[in-house]
């Protein structure tokens, strides 16, 4: 039985690290384990141009020890008004690798997102010319479409036509959750997908197990168990189209445990351990390194990391919460607690450096 895993240092190709005190709490585990992480731009206001991305990247680096080698890779937030100049500037910036498409209203802080893909076709064409990658939150926003069908509708309404119109545009279908998304990615060229730990471990039943559980609420929402099983097969298949992206999306307790709680699951505290457990449960630990450390870098046309990380087989308990320093001194510190995925539960693997 394997009790130690040594992997090429992995990358997290989809993460929200926020800003301010939340960022100071969440950035450390990612920077210690991962060589690079693709930083999502859905701050308020959004990170929509190269100048803002550089400032945001600097603030992330400043929150880390000077000795850290962690490399934040930036994605710019597409809006209806993104200009061709912004695309050119992004192509010239070594720290920006692409643009994030949030359909307006699809998820947390997506209000400034794109109202219709037809409006940004010249920008997408310019991105393809400059080999910039489009990262897609793939859900339609029509409130009449059932929340569990929004990803598959997005494939039919947006991705299929887009694939035909700009075949050269590299697309990452982010945090896929359904069999339909797996099939679409498998069948088309120039498209890869990230898969989160939570979509590999949970189904929609977990949101409602014995009551409503806001810490399992994320977007795209957890789907039926059959989709989870299909995702497990895809992630462990050895296909280079599927790679690691946690979509770790921390919101403090006050924003999660509320009558209208935010979407997002905080998983960065022990991300690689989650994937190790999942791959082990599929008897596929031999496929973990490529999923976590090779396929994403290859898709993005970046060199693979050369460092190594180790995980040890040992049982340990995830803390019930991580304390974020309240930004408003009058706030109850409880409201600023971050409840991580698997809070208080025992894990089988531990990242040891
Ligand atoms: C993300 C967030 O909180 O920023 N939430 C989530 O549920 N995944 C936004 C997103 O990626 O959809
Ligand atoms: Zn996300």
The pLDDT value given to residue 108: 83
How far apart, in whole angstroms, are the C-alpha atoms of residue 26 and residue 70? 14
The structure tokens listed for 243 are 């790679």
Instruction: Residue 350: count other Cβ atoms within 10 Å of its Cβ.
Output: 16
Would you say residue 185 lies in a domain? yes
Pocket test for ligand 1, best of 17, 107, 207 (most atoms within 8 A of CB): 107
Ligand 1, atom 4: closest residue by C-alpha: 108
Ligand 1 atom nearest to CA at 16: 4
**Which residue of the set 11, 12, 49, 247 is catalytic?**
247
* Ligand with the closest atom to the CA of 40: 2
Calculate the CA 267 to chain-centre distance: 10
The pLDDT value given to residue 107: 86
Ligand 1, atom 9: closest residue by C-alpha: 108
Would you say residue 235 lies in a domain? yes
Residue 298 CA, ligand 2 centroid: distance in Å: 21
The pLDDT value given to residue 240: 98
Would you say residue 324 lies in a domain? no
In three-state form (DSSP H/G/I as H, E/B as E, the rest C), the secondary structure along the chain is CCCEEEEECCEEEEECCCCHHHHHHHHHHHHHHCCEEEECCCCCCCCCCHHHHHHHHHHHHHCCCCCCCCEEEEEEECCCCCCHHHHHHHHHCCCEEEEEECECCCCCCCCCCECCHHHHHHHHHHHHHCCCEEEECCCCCCCCCCHHHHHHHHHHHHHHHHHHHCCCCCEEECCCCCHHHHHHHHHCCCEEEEECHHHHHCCHHHHHCCCCCHHHCCCCCCCCHHHHHHHHHHHCCCCCCEEECCCECCCCHHHHCCCCCCCCECCHHHHHHHHHHHHHHCCCHHHHHHHHHHHHHHHHCCCCCCCEEEEEEEEEECCCCEECCCCCCCCCHHHHEECCCCCCCEEEEEECC
Would you say residue 338 lies in a domain? no
The pLDDT value given to residue 302: 98
Q: Could you tell me the residue range of the domain that residue 81 belongs to?
A: 9-310
Pocket test for ligand 1, best of 154, 218, 222, 267 (most atoms within 8 A of CB): 218
Pocket test for ligand 1, best of 23, 44, 249 (most atoms within 8 A of CB): 249
How far apart, in whole angstroms, are the C-alpha atoms of residue 75 and residue 53? 8
User: What is the tally of structural domains in the chain?
Assistant: 1
Dihedral angle at the C-alpha atoms of 230, 236, 238, 241, nearest 10 degrees?
50
Beta partners for 191?
A: 171
Residue 228 CA, ligand 2 centroid: distance in Å: 18
Question: pLDDT tens digit string along 153-190?
Answer: 999 999 999 999 999 999 999 999 999 999 999 999 99
The structure tokens listed for 166 are 């700009």
The pLDDT value given to residue 221: 98
Residue 146 CA, ligand 1 centroid: distance in Å: 18
CATH code for the domain of 62: 3.20.20.140
The structure tokens listed for 130 are 């400059």
Ligand 1 pocket residues where CB is under 6 Å:
16, 42, 107-109, 137, 218-219, 247, 249, 263-264
| Residue with tokens 């090779």, as numbered in its chain | 294
Find out whether 232 and 200 touch, Cβ atoms under 8 Å. Answer: yes
Would you say residue 104 lies in a domain? yes
The structure tokens listed for 8 are 């090429």
The pLDDT value given to residue 316: 97
Would you say residue 332 lies in a domain? no
Sheet order of strands, 4-8 included:
4-8, 308-317, 346-351
Residue 309 CA, ligand 1 centroid: distance in Å: 27
Beta partners for 313?
A: 349
Find out whether 181 and 141 touch, Cβ atoms under 8 Å. Answer: no
Would you say residue 265 lies in a domain? yes
Catalytic, 247? Answer yes
Residue closest to 35 by CA, chosen among 242, 297, 311: 297
The pLDDT value given to residue 106: 87
Q: What is the pTM assigned to this prediction?
A: 0.98
How far apart, in whole angstroms, are the C-alpha atoms of residue 220 and residue 32? 27
- The low-confidence residues of the chain, meaning pLDDT below 50, are none
Would you say residue 101 lies in a domain? yes
The pLDDT value given to residue 2: 81
Residue 5 CA, ligand 1 centroid: distance in Å: 30
């Amino acid at each position: 039985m394997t009790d130690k895993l040594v992997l090429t240092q992995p990358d997290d190709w989809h993460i929200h690290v926020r800003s301010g005190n939340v960022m100071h709490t969440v950035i450390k585990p990612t920077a210690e384990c991962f060589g690079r992480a693709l930083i999502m731009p859905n701050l308020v206001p959004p990170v929509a141009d190269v100048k803002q991305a550089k400032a945001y990247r600097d603030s992330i680096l400043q929150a880390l020890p000077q000795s850290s080698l962690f490399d934040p890779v930036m994605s710019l937030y597409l809006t209806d008004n993104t200009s061709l100049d912004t695309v050119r500037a992004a192509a010239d910036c070594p720290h920006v690798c692409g643009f994030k498409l949030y359909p307006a209203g699809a998820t947390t802080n997506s209000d400034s997102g794109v109202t219709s893909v037809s409006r940004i076709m010249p920008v997408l064409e310019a991105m393809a010319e400059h080999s910039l990658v489009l990262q897609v939150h793939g859900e339609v926003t029509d409130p009449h479409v059932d929340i569990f069908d929004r990803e598959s509708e997005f494939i039919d309404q947006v991705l299929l036509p887009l694939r035909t119109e700009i075949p050269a545009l590299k697309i990452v279908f982010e945090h896929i959750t359904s069999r339909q998304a797996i099939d679409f990615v498998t069948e088309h060229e120039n498209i890869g997908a990230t898969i989160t730990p939570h979509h590999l471990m949970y189904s929609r039943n977990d949101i409602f197990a014995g009551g409503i559980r806001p810490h399992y609420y994320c977007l795209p929402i957890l789907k039926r168990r059959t989709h989870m099983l299909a995702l497990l097969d895809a992630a462990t298949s050895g296909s280079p189209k599927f790679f690691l992206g946690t979509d770790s999306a921390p919101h403090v307790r006050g924003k999660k445990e509320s009558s209208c709680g935010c979407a997002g699951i905080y998983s960065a505290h022990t991300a690689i351990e989650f994937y190790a457990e999942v791959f082990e449960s599929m008897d596929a630990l031999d496929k973990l390194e490529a999923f976590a450390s090779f396929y994403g870098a290859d898709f993005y046309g970046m060199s693979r990391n050369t460092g190594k990380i180790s995980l040890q087989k040992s049982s340990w308990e995830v803390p019930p919460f991580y304390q974020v320093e309240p930004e408003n001194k009058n706030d109850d510190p409880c409201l600023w607690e971050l409840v991580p995925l698997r809070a208080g539960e025992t894990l089988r693997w531990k990242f040891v450096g």
